[in-house]
């Protein structure tokens, strides 16, 4: 007999989206009586509709706007090591088909059936981000399941970032198994990237841009490349691998640029690679005032609109990036503009970019719209899982 606590949708809340796969219940959709509010964050409960019909198992966090995350349609499922291993094995099977080398996003949260959990794999190491309270509670069985399924001997918990704060979780990074003695080399698109698994941004590297790096690499043969907001050299190193004559990486982080330089050395392209530590907007303005021109320009900023309240300001920032970047592109050259803001949908982002290019005095063709790679699957009921957009324009005048 099921002895789990029960939580219930409010009257008039349509349960059909949840029956059809929607993964979240928001605080204003759930009956939040004293009993529900008293549940410990991460508690596994049975979710019922207003007529007391079961919908599935959810992980509850009364302190979060997302008060319940769907775990399993089977209310009798045991959420433990074996259940976690099953989800991980399904995720691994797809990545093993897609990639010859074990460098990829292994788990993309809700889209892989592990809500709030991100796991990136770097060869024999996995970096786990438990961004939901239930995963934080089960971090040990989750680590055991990751080791069992992947065979990885180094496991790192990266407990940092905005998502954990929204769940009421503390920031901390912990080595759970094994260890690393420095940055890890990651082969991708003909280049080698250096990932700091314990002190870098997020898990140490952004695998999501892989297909967009590859497209820019094809445009870069014989080109001068400018990569702004470059982090560890993402587009710059890919461009060099594609035959660029030179690449300039601009970032505000000296540590990230040090890793980019190490990646250039590991890739054998250090002679064609330079860096510039500067605020990106300042750098774009300075390069424009100096009359610099590049055949390929890429701007891949952090999320300017991480949530809806920041949308208007974020769109203005994306427009400003496009306005400052467009004059730096040689006639007939290419400009790639990226957004990782889920709150700025594709149409709004595209409009901001086109307006900025126009304000920069240029005319353009949109030649490609790119997204994250297939190791970042999209949940069909969750627009947030399709956050990444990459627009490539050819500037005509």
CA distance 10 to 256: 48
Active-site residue set = 340
Residue 384 — very low, low, confident or very high, per pLDDT cuts 50/70/90? confident
pLDDT above 90 for 75: yes
Q: What are residue 336's DSSP bridge partners?
A: 298, 392
| Residue 161: predicted pLDDT | 83
Q: Which long-range contacts (CB under 8 A, 24 or more apart) does 320-324 make?
A: 320/281, 320/356, 321/228, 321/280, 321/281, 321/284, 321/356, 322/352, 322/353, 322/354, 322/355, 322/356, 322/357, 322/359, 322/360, 323/356, 323/357, 323/359, 323/360, 324/281, 324/284, 324/285, 324/288, 324/360
Whole-number mean pLDDT of the chain?
A: 96
Residue 184 lies in a domain: no
pTM: 0.95
Mean pLDDT along residues 6-33: 97
CA distance 366 to 34: 54
CATH number at residue 234: 3.40.50.150
pLDDT above 60 for 1: no
Q: Are residue 28 and residue 158 in the same domain, yes or no?
A: no
CATH number at residue 18: 2.30.130.10
CB neighbour burial string for 7-31, b if at least 16 within 10 angstroms, e if fewer: bbbeeebebeebeeebbbbeeebbe
pLDDT above 70 for 83: yes
Assess contact for 187 and 143: CB atoms under 8 A: no
Q: State what percent of residues in the chain have pLDDT above 70.
A: 99
Residue 2 — very low, low, confident or very high, per pLDDT cuts 50/70/90? low
Last residue of a domain, one of 72, 98, 125: 72
Q: Are residue 172 and residue 220 in the same domain, yes or no?
A: no
Residue 138 lies in a domain: yes
pLDDT tens, position by position, 179-191: 999 999 999 999 9
For residue 395, the SS3 value is strand
pLDDT tens, position by position, 246-281: 999 999 999 999 999 999 999 999 999 999 999 999
Query: If phi over 0 gives left and psi between -120 and 50 gives alpha, with beta otherwise, what is residue 270?
Result: alpha
pLDDT above 90 for 358: yes
| Residue 397: predicted pLDDT | 80
Domain that holds residue 106: 81-177
Q: Are residue 55 and residue 95 in the same domain, yes or no?
A: no
The secondary element (H helix, E strand) that includes residue 93 is helix 81-98
| Residue 268: predicted pLDDT | 98
| Residue 111: predicted pLDDT | 97
Tell me the backbone φ, ψ of residue 152, rounded to 5 degrees. Answer: -65, 140
* Pairing mode, strands 103-108 and 66-72: unpaired
pLDDT above 60 for 172: yes
CA distance 383 to 386: 6
Rounded to 10 deg, the angle between the 311-325 and 346-359 helix axes is: 40
Q: Are residue 293 and residue 375 in the same domain, yes or no?
A: yes
Query: If phi over 0 gives left and psi between -120 and 50 gives alpha, with beta otherwise, what is residue 116?
Result: left
CA distance 321 to 283: 11
Q: Are residue 227 and residue 89 in the same domain, yes or no?
A: no
| Residue 344: predicted pLDDT | 92
Q: Are residue 265 and residue 311 in the same domain, yes or no?
A: yes
Mean pLDDT along residues 77-90: 98
Residue 182 lies in a domain: no
Query: What is the chain's Cα-based Rg?
Result: 22
Residue 32 lies in a domain: yes
- Beta-carbon contacts of 210 under 8 Å, excluding residues fewer than 6 positions away, are 188, 189, 373, 375
Last residue of a domain, one of 147, 177, 207: 177
- Sign for the CA dihedral angle at 16, 17, 23, 27 comes to negative
Count how many domains the chain has.
3
Mean pLDDT along residues 129-140: 96
List the structure tokens of 294.
Answer: 């590049």
| Residue 295: predicted pLDDT | 98
Going by C-alpha positions, the residue among 181, 177, 184, 247 that lies closest to residue 213 is 247
pLDDT tens, position by position, 200-221: 777 889 999 999 999 999 999 9
List the structure tokens of 151.
Answer: 């065979």
> Tell me, what DSSP letter sits at residue 28?
G
CA distance 224 to 245: 6
For residue 325, the SS3 value is helix
Last residue of a domain, one of 112, 142, 177: 177
CA distance 59 to 214: 38
CA distance 170 to 311: 26
Residue 45 — very low, low, confident or very high, per pLDDT cuts 50/70/90? very high
Q: Which long-range contacts (CB under 8 A, 24 or more apart) does 85-93 make?
A: 85/145, 85/148, 85/149, 87/112, 87/113, 87/114, 88/114, 88/119, 88/145, 88/146, 88/149, 88/150, 89/149, 92/149, 92/150
Q: Are residue 104 and residue 151 in the same domain, yes or no?
A: yes
CA distance 58 to 42: 9
| Residue 257: predicted pLDDT | 97
Residue 226 lies in a domain: yes
């Amino acid at each position: 007999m099921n002895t789990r606590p029960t939580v219930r949708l409010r009257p008039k809340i349509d349960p059909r989206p949840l029956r059809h796969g929607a993964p979240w219940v928001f605080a204003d959709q759930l009956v939040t009586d004293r009993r529900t509010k008293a549940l410990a964050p991460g508690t596994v409960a049975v979710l019922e509709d207003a007529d007391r019909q079961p919908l599935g198992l959810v992980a509850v966090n009364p302190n979060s706007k997302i008060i319940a995350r769907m775990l399993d349609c089977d209310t009798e499922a045991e959420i433990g090591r074996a259940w976690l291993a099953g989800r991980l094995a399904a995720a691994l099977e797809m990545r093993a088909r897609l990639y010859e080398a074990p460098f990829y996003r292994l788990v993309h949260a809700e889209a892989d059936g592990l809500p709030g959990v991100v796991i990136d794999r770097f060869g024999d190491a996995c970096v786990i981000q438990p961004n939901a309270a239930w995963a934080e509670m089960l971090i040990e069985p989750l680590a055991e399941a990751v080791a069992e399924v992947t065979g990885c001997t180094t496991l790192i918990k990266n407990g940092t970032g905005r998502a954990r704060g929204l769940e009421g979780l503390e920031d901390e990074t912990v080595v759970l198994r094994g260890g690393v003695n420095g940055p890890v080399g990651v082969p991708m698109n003909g280049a080698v990237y250096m990932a700091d698994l314990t002190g870098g941004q997020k898990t140490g590297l952004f695998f999501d841009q892989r297909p967009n790096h590859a497209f820019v690499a094809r445009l870069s043969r014989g080109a001068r490349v400018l990569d702004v907001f470059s982090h560890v050299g993402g587009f710059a190193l890919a461009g060099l691998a594609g035959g660029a004559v030179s690449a300039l990486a601009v970032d505000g982080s000296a540590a990230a640029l040090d890793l980019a330089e190490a990646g250039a050395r590991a890739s054998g392209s250090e002679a064609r690679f330079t860096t510039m530590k500067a605020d990106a907007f300042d750098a774009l303005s300075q390069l424009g005032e100096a009359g610099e021109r590049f055949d390929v320009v890429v701007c891949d900023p952090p999320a300017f609109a991480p949530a809806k309240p920041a949308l208007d300001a974020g769109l203005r920032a994306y427009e400003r990036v496009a306005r400052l970047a467009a004059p730096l592109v040689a006639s007939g050259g290419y400009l790639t503009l990226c957004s990782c803001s889920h709150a700025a949908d594709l149409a709004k982002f595209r409009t901001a970019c086109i307006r900025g290019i126009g304000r920069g005095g240029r005319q353009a063709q949109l030649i490609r719209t790119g997204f994250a790679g297939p190791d970042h699957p999209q949940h069909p009921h969750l627009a947030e899982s399709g956050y990444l957009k990459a627009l490539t324009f050819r500037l005509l005048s």
